[in-house]
Every structure is written in C-alpha cells, then in structure tokens.
Amino acid sequence: MFSYEARIKAVNLLIQYDMSYTDVVHELEYPSKMALRKWYEEYQEYGDLHDKYNKKPKYSEEEKHVAVKYYLEHGKSVARTVKKLGYPCRPELDTWIIEIAPVQKRHCRSGGRVVKYTREQKERAVISLCSRSKSAKDVAAEIGTTRENLYNWKHQLLKGECLQTMKNNHTLCKAKKHQSIETEVFGLRAEKDNLIKQVGDLQKELHQLKVERDIYEKAAEIIKKDQGVNLQTLTNREKAILINALRDKYQLKVLLEILNMAKSSYCYQVIAIATDKYSDLRTKIKDAFYDASNRYGYRRIHSVIKSFGTTVSEKVVLRIMREEQLMVPNIKRKKYSSYKGEISPEVENIIKRDFQADKPNSKWLTDITEFRIPAGKVYLSPIIDCFDGLPVSWAIGTSPSAELVNVMLDEAISVLDADEKPIVHSDRGCHYRWPGWIERMKNTGLTRSMSKKGYSPDNSACEGFFGRLKNEMFYGYSWTGVSISQFIEQLDEYVKWYAEKRIKLSLGGMSPLNYRRSLGLAG
C-alpha cells in the first residue's frame, strides 16, 4: 500500500506537468500504470484521494530517521545499513532517504537497480548550476551525481527556456511517438504477411514431401523396390500402379507431377492394366499352387504349367506368384539329434557324400527327425533311395525308440529282390548302433555306412528331404487343437504324396514313382 502523500504526489505530476502514466511511473518508480489510472479517476471524481483505508505504517518515523542517519554516517551504503539494522528492504530505504535527506542520496546502484532523482531535485540542481554560486563539480558532489548528469538535466529542463515550451516539446514527442508506433505497426503487419507466406510455402513443401514418402512406401509394398528405388527410373506401368494405389488420398495432378508422367501415358497404362493378358495363366498358377497344398515354388509351378502344354517364361510365373502373394513358408528350426555317444564300434563312411545311384536300391539314406506340436512330439524315420529320392519305407511314432527304426528297416527289406543288397547310410545316432539294427543288417547282407561325428553334410541328401518336408507341410501352419493321431495321419499322407505326386525338376518334372514307371522299374 502507498501512503496518501505518495499517491497525491503521483496524481499531481499527471495534472500539473501533463505527463503520461508511463512517464510518471518511470519518474517515481512507483506504482503500476493500472493503479495510477485508478488514483487519477478517483481524484477527477471526488477532487481528492481517500485516506481512511491507509494501513498503519510498518515502521515508525523514529525508525525511519534512525535508518537514514545510519546511512549518512556510515558511507552512504544502502546494503550496509540494511544488513546492520535488519530493516527495511533496500527499495524502501531508498524512498526514506529521498523523503528525509534527498540531497544526501548517492547516485549509485542499490539492490541491483539505479536510483533516480525526482524532478524537484533536478530543478534545484540546475538552478544551483546556472546561478554559479558553486562550481559544477561541487554542485554534483553535493547532490551525489556526476557533472555529466548535471549538464544533461540542464539541457533537458532549460531547452526552450520556459515551461510552456517544455509542454509543447512534450506534445511534439508524443506526436513523434505516435508516428513511430504507426510505422512500427505497419512494419509488423508487413512482417506478419511475409511470415504467413513463408508458412504457406512450407506447408506446400511439407505436403509434397509427404506425397513422395507415401509413393516410396507404396513402391516398397507393391512393386517390391524398397532398396535404391528411383521414382524417375520406374516404368510407366509401375508409375500407374502407384498412382492408382494413392488416387483416393491425393490429387491426380500432384501424383503425375511428382512422378513426372504425362496424363495421356497414365490413361493408356490404366487401360492396359485393366486388360490382363495373363488372366487364364494366373488361374492355372493359383490352381497348381493350391493343389500342391502351397508347397511348390515358381520353378515347380512352371514345370506343372509346362506339362499342361502352355509355353511361358519362369520369370512370368515368378512375377504372377509375387503379385498373387503365393509364397511357400520357409522357416529353419533346430534339428533333432539322436547321438548318445560311442555305444558300439564305429563304421566306415562308404558313401562319402556321393549320393548319386545308377539303379534303385543300391544306396539308401536314413535318419530321424522330430516334430513339436502343442499336443506333443512326433518322430519320423524314413529310408530314402539315392536313385530318385523315393521314400522306400517310413515309420512314424511318438518316441525315437529302437522299435521305430527296426520296423522301418523291416518294411524296406521286404521290398528288396534277392540280388539287391544296398548300402544303408546313417548318422551316428544310437538307433543305428543298437544290437537289433546291427543284427538285421548282418542277417540280410546289407552294408552299413555312417557319417563322421558332427558332420551333417555327410548325410545332406536325407537332411534335404526333411527340410523340404517341414517347409511344405509343417512350418507356417498352426497345429493348435490338432491331436497326435491327426498329425500322424497328415504326415503319413504327405510322405505318400511326396512319393506318388510331388514333382522333382531333376526327374524331368515327374514324381519318383512316375519316374520309375517311365523307366519300367515299377508296376
């Protein structure tokens, strides 16, 4: 709260000197412009300011004089006085000094701000300077300022030699200030218009970058050119495909401009795309793929299409399968290992990775693989003929036991002629080193051959059969809710299909059994 004297003093400056609110606040360093406006309105309405709401001063007049006296007697330091006495704050002490001993107030920084002099102090100092009763240096030292400030005050107060001239100058300054404000407003408007234009340009550029980003994403998704794609090197057909995919989102004009494509070229490509010359071939490829239970890649599909009497390139088949998303699952998992240590004497590797055979039943390969489904584990043990990859016999069970491999071997032996004594190659699994296996091999005159320990390529032809089997009928399928017996049935059906119907490119696009029939080796 400000005292009555402080408020009336501020209002008097407004009335007597025709000063603005801002000038009064700068001159007195109090109050705010809003408070000063309220004081002035109250004075205009009632002719005076109220004093009945004044609070009791926090400090008495005696305390004020004690503080000012200490200030004058101890180096005129506001900070030292406040620290010693413990009161008041620095700005309030500055006010007391100006009220009680204005001539003794030093012009110095106190509390982080510069203390200013009142208009009366400046007028008395200028009068003393002009009368030349003392030197300018003495007058400045007496009031606590510098000679430079003293002459600045003289120039400000005596320029025009009368108060009326000062008022006229004040009015002129206000007019210049108003003109300066108008100039500043005009400059701000011009700057605002420039900023709005820049924002529009940036939004347009951002929109173009967004369109280009979406075009690149569609190119990676549809055309599969996600690495090193260059929009300017795309064919017109590819550009038309991208535009059709983004027509619902962006204007045709914008897409054609970014892709650098004429509208007439786009219209031609739209008609060409709508007329699919491979529609019949596309249907045949889909049928062949689904008939093979999604197990054939583009080479085998091409062989099937070729067997129908249709001449077409493998690349066309590959492209159509990609467009229709006819992909064979390809997942690699850790294989089952049946190695339990050297439980019987080792056997020489006779095959030595030579998996070629001139006639059936001369080289056999065998191994065990594991299938894990939610219902449990299933094991498959086949014998594969190196002549054409035919599964000669196979056994399926829920345990990799000696009975599993012995049943498989007995079934395979039953299809041999009297003069057929094949080499049976296996890994070093325990099933092929137990007495039951060794005894059956010896009694029928079959020759044992084993891979080296840890050398899976020594039996790679059999491993390849397992890989094809799992990629085509196991990986990528959900087996939740399938029982063990149901899975065994599906696995057995696949092995039969593999032997009877699945074509092999190395056999001229025929299945193993059809290949043998073509050679007159099977009934």
Q: What is the largest CA-CA distance in the chain?
A: 149
Buried b (16+ CB within 10 A) or exposed e, 354-367: ebebeebbebbbbb
Within a domain: 19: yes
Q: Kindly state whether residues 228 and 303 are assigned to the same domain.
A: no
Q: Kindly state whether residues 472 and 502 are assigned to the same domain.
A: yes
Q: Kindly state whether residues 433 and 507 are assigned to the same domain.
A: yes
- Tell me the pairing of strands 369-373 and 363-366: unpaired
- How many structural domains is the chain composed of? 4
Distance CA 475, CA 514 (A): 27
Q: Kindly state whether residues 401 and 450 are assigned to the same domain.
A: yes
Within a domain: 177: no
Within a domain: 356: no
How far is CA 271 from its chain centroid? 39
How far is CA 382 from its chain centroid? 50
Within a domain: 334: no
Within a domain: 94: yes
Within a domain: 357: no
Q: Kindly state whether residues 37 and 154 are assigned to the same domain.
A: yes
Q: Kindly state whether residues 10 and 159 are assigned to the same domain.
A: yes
Contacts of residue 291, defined as CB under 8 A and 6 or more positions apart, other chains included, come to none
Range of the domain at 157: 4-168
Within a domain: 217: yes
Within a domain: 408: yes
Digit-by-digit pLDDT tens for the chain (523 residues) are 678 888 888 888 888 777 788 888 887 778 888 888 888 888 888 878 776 554 567 788 888 888 888 888 887 888 888 888 888 888 888 888 888 876 655 544 444 445 567 778 788 778 877 776 777 777 777 777 777 777 888 877 766 444 455 455 555 555 665 666 667 667 777 888 888 888 888 888 888 888 888 888 877 777 665 456 677 778 888 888 888 888 888 888 888 888 888 999 989 888 877 777 777 888 888 888 888 877 788 888 888 888 888 888 889 889 888 888 888 766 555 555 555 555 557 788 888 888 888 889 889 899 899 999 999 999 999 999 999 899 999 999 998 888 888 889 889 888 888 888 899 898 887 778 888 888 888 888 888 888 887 677 888 888 888 888 888 888 888 899 999 999 999 999 999 999 998 888 888 888 888 988 888 876 5
Is pTM, for the whole model, over 0.75? no
HEC per residue, 115-180:
CCCCHHHHHHHHHHHHHCCCCHHHHHHHHCCCHHHHHHHHHHHHCCCCHHHHHHHHHHHHHHHHHH
Distance CA 20, CA 11 (A): 11
Q: Kindly state whether residues 408 and 491 are assigned to the same domain.
A: yes
Last residue of a domain, one of 118, 142, 168: 168
Q: Kindly state whether residues 152 and 238 are assigned to the same domain.
A: no
Q: Kindly state whether residues 155 and 218 are assigned to the same domain.
A: no
Last residue of a domain, one of 142, 168, 194: 168
- Helix, strand, coil content of the chain in percent (nearest 5): 60, 10, 35
- Cis bond leading into 422, ω under 30°? no
CA nearest neighbour of 395 among 441, 431, 347, 358: 431
